[in-house]
């Protein structure tokens, strides 16, 4: 019961936050602007594909930063003690946060892709069925990377002593770790996107499990 | 220690943080329907004791029981019976007051329909009703403290554990909170609270525990703490006309000595066990007969501040 409640609760907090509004509006706008001001992209790459690039390069980092900074901040302030004196499983606090941020960032990614698709469709350059299938595979790979980065950010949030250390670890640790999800593509495994999803799921679960164990041992 | 009547008991409880021993074999009990004031210098072990009591710390030695159930093993069964307000109260800043209380209320097992009338009720009691839809980040420090108290009261706990509940509150709010605590006591709720404002503890606490360096130095009512140190009563007289005869009062039976603390203000020190009525009457009669005029006359009871310094020592901030 407490996981669904914590998820709904955190979701309320995140989707109303200014960062999310900026992300939901900002990411599609950024894709549009960057695509527009890069003359060599026009004709070479559709906005949909370009939006996918923006999503995969930005969304994971943003999700990770939000999670780790949020946890460090709340940990430092002592927010969790009010939860922990109630019948709430510690893992529910972490998993609720993870799923809430993942949902919000995934929604931002989908919005960005949909805007790209709509603009391309209006311009008559929408990707064909085959290209669309490739895009879907890329999206699966991208979401897998976001999940890995977010799970690593949860762990960083728990162990990092300060926001600064947390952000550095997210940039140089969590972000780099998400590359593991792309290994099947680099190694030429087929179908790469399926391997990537599998690796992403396993790595995310392992990182979350470690986070829960560390969080359970923490005293507040 | 009366195990049967106690709502909570600590028996030989010790807790260390690494090499630092925060609590050293402390034992005490909380009786049903009492307000227990917990005082001591910074780092004395008050917060650690309270965290153990609410199940936030589990790696301690000794026995802790709340409502007949041992902590931390049975803490899941105790969550709804205990209300806790931590020393550093903080909420996620994006929440409104109503949203924060709804979340904590639901986590305490309360239903949304019940909370829809319980939240305004508690906020009204604390004078926070107008802030119900305000974001937590826009609350003042004192209002945040009150919100902390609100979430602890929401589920009507049997035991209320408050770590410095009035810190940062204005005098009016402190009076309000003290009144609420007294009301809770009258309804049978047991309250343990720590504070560095000793006058507040003196105002509301039925019993007081003094802790320092992880050791419980003394527990008792204010009178018992006073008796332990044989602190004598004094009588303060304010003379509007001083005929200079007040020094002769030292010869009255039961009066140890007399001194002028300020011009026109005389303090009579009574002997331990002296007949206060006799000494007072005799002193007043003599003063009037010898031409003095008396503006006021009242006994001076030693304050908790004075007792605290005797127990903990000079220089130890409460």
Q: Which of B57, B91, B109 sits opposite A219 (nearest CB)?
A: B57
Nearest residue to A122 (alpha-carbon basis) of A195, A175, A37, A46: A46
Please give the average per-residue pLDDT across A119-125, as a whole number. 84
Residues of chain B in Cβ contact (below 8 Å) with chain A: 51, 54-57, 59, 76, 79-80, 82, 84, 86, 88-92, 94-95, 99, 103-104, 106-109, 151
Q: Scanning the structure block, which residue is given the tokens 């019976």?
A: B81
d(CA A105, CA B250): 83
What average pLDDT does chain B have? 89
**Inter-chain CB proximity A13 and B82 less than 8 Å:** no
Instruction: Give the N- to C-terminal CA distance of chain B in Å, as an integer.
Output: 27
Residues of B in contact with A88 (CB under 8 A): 107
Instruction: Lowest mean pLDDT of A37-51, B87-101, B197-211, name the range.
Output: A37-51
With a CB cutoff of 8 Å and minimum separation 6, the contacts of A46 are A116, A120, A125, A126, A127, A131
Q: How far is A119 from chain B (nearest CA, A)?
A: 34
Sign of CA dihedral A198, A200, A203, A205: negative
- CATH code assigned to B8-227: 3.40.50.300
Please give the average per-residue pLDDT across B83-89, as a whole number. 92
* Cβ(B120)–Cβ(B80) below 8 Å: no
Is the predicted pLDDT of residue B3 greater than 60, yes or no? no
Is the predicted pLDDT of residue B231 greater than 70, yes or no? no
Task: Give pLDDT, residue A171.
Answer: 86
Distances (CA, A) of B161 to A45, A119, B92, B196, B271: 63, 59, 21, 16, 40
Please give the average per-residue pLDDT across A114-136, as a whole number. 82
Please give the average per-residue pLDDT across B49-61, as a whole number. 93
List, edge to edge, every strand of the sheet that includes B69-71.
B20-30, B8-17, B61-66, B69-71
Task: Give pLDDT, residue B230.
Answer: 56
Instruction: Give the number of other CB atoms < 10 A from CB of residue B145.
Output: 23
Domain ranges of chain A: 2-217
The upper half-sphere exposure of residue A31, i.e. CA atoms within 13 Å in the direction of its Cβ, equals 33
Instruction: Give the number of other CB atoms < 10 A from CB of residue B167.
Output: 17
H or E segment and range at residue B11: strand B8-17
Residues of B in contact with A84 (CB under 8 A): 56
Distances (CA, A) of B119 to B154, B167, B188: 7, 23, 21
Q: How far is CA B182 from the centre of its chain?
A: 11
**Inter-chain CB proximity B82 and A87 less than 8 Å:** no
What b/e readout covers A191-207, taking b as 16+ CB neighbours within 10 angstroms? ebbebbbebbeebbeeb
Is the predicted pLDDT of residue B30 greater than 90, yes or no? yes
Burial class (CB in 10 A: 0-12, 13-18, 19+), B236: middle
**Inter-chain CB proximity A220 and B95 less than 8 Å:** no
- Torsion-angle region of residue A12: left (phi > 0), alpha (psi -120 to 50) or beta? alpha
Residues of B in contact with A83 (CB under 8 A): 107
Please give the average per-residue pLDDT across B17-46, as a whole number. 93
Task: Give pLDDT, residue B314.
Answer: 52
Domain ranges of chain B: 8-227, 232-301
- CATH code assigned to B232-301: 3.30.70.100
Bigger pLDDT: B143 vs B3? B143
Which pLDDT tens digit goes with each residue over A75-113? 999 899 999 999 889 999 999 999 999 998 888 888 888
Bigger pLDDT: A194 vs A178? A194
Residues of B in contact with A82 (CB under 8 A): 84, 86, 89, 91, 104, 151
Secondary structure letter of residue B232 according to DSSP? P
Residue of B nearest to A7 (CA): B103
Is the predicted pLDDT of residue B303 greater than 50, yes or no? yes
Residues of A in contact with B54 (CB under 8 A): 85
* Cβ(B34)–Cβ(B207) below 8 Å: yes
Q: Which of A5, A79, A87 sits opposite B90 (nearest CB)?
A: A79
* Cβ(A127)–Cβ(A179) below 8 Å: no
> Helix or strand or coil: residue B190?
strand
Nearest residue to B217 (alpha-carbon basis) of B303, B301, B309, B302: B309
């Amino acid at each position: 019961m407490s996981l669904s409640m914590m998820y709904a609760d955190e979701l309320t907090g995140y989707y109303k936050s200014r960062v999310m509004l900026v992300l939901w509006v900002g990411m599609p706008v950024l894709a549009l602007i960057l695509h527009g001001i890069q003359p060599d992209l026009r004709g070479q790459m559709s906005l949909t594909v370009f939006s996918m690039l923006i999503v995969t390069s930005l969304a994971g980092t943003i999700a990770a930063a939000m999670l780790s900074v949020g946890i460090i901040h709340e940990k430092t302030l002592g927010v969790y003690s009010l939860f922990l004196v109630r019948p709430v499983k510690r893992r529910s606090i972490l998993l609720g946060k993870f799923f809430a941020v993942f949902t919000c960032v995934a929604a931002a990614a989908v919005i960005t892709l949909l805007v790209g698709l709509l603009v391309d469709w209006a311009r008559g350059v929408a990707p064909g069925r085959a290209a669309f299938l490739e895009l879907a595979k890329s999206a699966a790979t991208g979401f897998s990377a976001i999940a890995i980065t977010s799970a690593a950010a949860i762990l960083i949030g728990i162990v990092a002593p300060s926001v600064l250390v947390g952000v550095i670890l997210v940039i140089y640790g969590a972000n780099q770790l998400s590359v593991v999800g792309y290994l099947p593509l680099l190694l030429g495994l087929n179908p790469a996107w399926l391997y990537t999803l599998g690796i992403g799921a396993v790595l995310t679960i392992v990182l979350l499990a470690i986070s829960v164990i560390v969080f359970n041992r923490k005293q507040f | 220690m009366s195990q049967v009547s106690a709502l909570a008991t600590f028996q030989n409880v010790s807790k260390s943080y690494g090499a630092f021993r925060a609590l050293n074999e402390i034992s005490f009990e909380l009786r049903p329907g009492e307000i227990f004031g917990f005082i001591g210098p910074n780092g004395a072990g008050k917060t650690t004791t309270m965290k153990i009591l609410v199940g936030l710390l589990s790696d301690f030695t000794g026995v802790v029981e709340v409502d007949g159930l041992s902590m931390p093993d049975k803490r899941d069964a105790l969550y709804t019976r205990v209300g806790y307000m931590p020393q550093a109260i903080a909420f996620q800043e994006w929440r409104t007051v109503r949203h924060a209380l709804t979340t904590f209320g639901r986590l305490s097992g309360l239903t949304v329909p019940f909370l829809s009338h319980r939240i305004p009720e508690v906020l009204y009691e604390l004078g926070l009703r107008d802030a119900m839809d305000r974001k937590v980040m826009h609350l003042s420090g004192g209002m945040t403290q009150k919100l902390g108290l609100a979430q602890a009261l929401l589920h009507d706990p049997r035991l209320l554990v408050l770590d410095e509940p009035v810190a940062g509150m204005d005098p009016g709010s402190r009076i309000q909170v003290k009144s609420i605590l007294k009301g809770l006591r009258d309804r049978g709720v047991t309250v343990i609270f720590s504070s560095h404002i000793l006058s507040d503890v003196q105002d509301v606490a039925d019993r007081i525990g003094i802790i320092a360096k992880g050791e419980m130095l003394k527990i008792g009512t204010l009178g018992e703490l006073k008796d332990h140190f044989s602190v004598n009563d004094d009588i303060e007289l304010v003379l509007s006309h001083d005929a200079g005869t007040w020094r002769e009062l030292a010869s009255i039976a039961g009066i140890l000595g007399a001194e002028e603390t300020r011009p026109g203000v005389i303090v009579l020190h009574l002997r331990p066990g002296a007949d206060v009525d006799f000494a007072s009457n005799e002193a007043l009669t003599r003063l009037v007969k010898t031409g003095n005029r008396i503006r006021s006359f009242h006994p001076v009871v030693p304050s908790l501040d004075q007792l605290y310094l005797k127990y903990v020592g000079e220089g130890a901030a409460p």
